[in-house]
């Protein structure tokens, strides 16, 4: 495994649409492991392959299932399944209900903003064994998986803001020392 450098805005790879993975082979398995190790090293809760310069539809996320969007722990929710490794994820259902979460991004260092997204989503993806899985997410996991999937389409959380606020945050992010 390896810790990879995380690209920051305005790197053009972050704005590229990532390509589908044809088969979950040893290279993709290594990429998943590297993403996981880099996410842990960077103290992130999710990381998408374009953020380490690999324009493929691959992501990892590690958010406790019992975590609300405000980062509070909920009682009575199983927190065991936290780590997800996804290849070619697609959103197959979203709830009508929306929720607003304070988001940040390793590729937009030091900047945070409120983003409103569907509260629940169902995602179909291949896991690290190449098996088709379907999982419904809510709370912070739902916000995180949507944020990471945006990276696969070259989208950053600041794109949900007004153009003026977006420009300010992107400019500030470029001045942050990493």
| Contact indicator for 67, 74 with CB cutoff of 8 Å | yes
Q: To the nearest whole angstrom, how small is the minimum distance from the Cβ of residue 135 to Zn ion? A: 20
The reply to whether 42 belongs to the active site is no
Q: To the nearest whole angstrom, how small is the minimum distance from the Cβ of residue 86 to Zn ion? A: 14
Torsion, Cα 143 144 146 147, to 10 degrees, reads 110
Binding segment for Zn ion among 52-60, 99-107, 120-128, 133-141 (CB under 5 A)?
A: 99-107
| Contact indicator for 152, 18 with CB cutoff of 8 Å | yes
Contact between 105 and Zn ion per CB under 5 A? yes
C-alpha 108/C-alpha 172 separation (Å) is 9
Residue whose CB is less far from Zn ion, 119 or 150: 150
Q: To the nearest whole angstrom, how small is the minimum distance from the Cβ of residue 3 to Zn ion? A: 17
Find out whether the peptide bond into 10 is cis, omega within 30 degrees of 0.
Answer: yes
Contact between 169 and Zn ion per CB under 5 A? no
Candidates 97, 148, 167, 177; catalytic one: 148
Kindly list the residues in this chain that would bind Zn ion in the complex (CB under 5 A): 105
């Amino acid at each position: 495994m390896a810790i990879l450098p995380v690209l920051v805005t305005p790197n053009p790879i972050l704005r590229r649409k990532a390509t589908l993975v044809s088969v979950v082979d040893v290279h993709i398995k290594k990429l998943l492991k590297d993403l996981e190790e880099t996410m842990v090293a960077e103290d992130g809760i999710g990381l998408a392959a374009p953020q380490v310069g690999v324009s493929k539809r691959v992501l990892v996320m590690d958010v406790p299932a019992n975590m609300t969007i405000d980062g509070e722990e909920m009682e009575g929710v199983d927190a065991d399944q936290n780590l997800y490794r996804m290849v070619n994820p697609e959103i197959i259902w979203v709830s009508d209900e929306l929720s607003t979460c304070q988001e940040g991004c390793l590729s937009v260092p030091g900047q945070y903003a409120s983003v409103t997204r569907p509260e629940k989503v169902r995602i179909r993806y291949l896991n690290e064994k190449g098996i088709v899985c379907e999982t419904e997410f809510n709370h912070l996991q739902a916000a995180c998986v949507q944020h990471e999937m945006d990276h696969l389409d070259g989208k950053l959380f600041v794109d949900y803001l007004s153009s003026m606020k977006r420009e300010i945050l992107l400019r500030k992010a470029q001045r942050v020392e990493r």
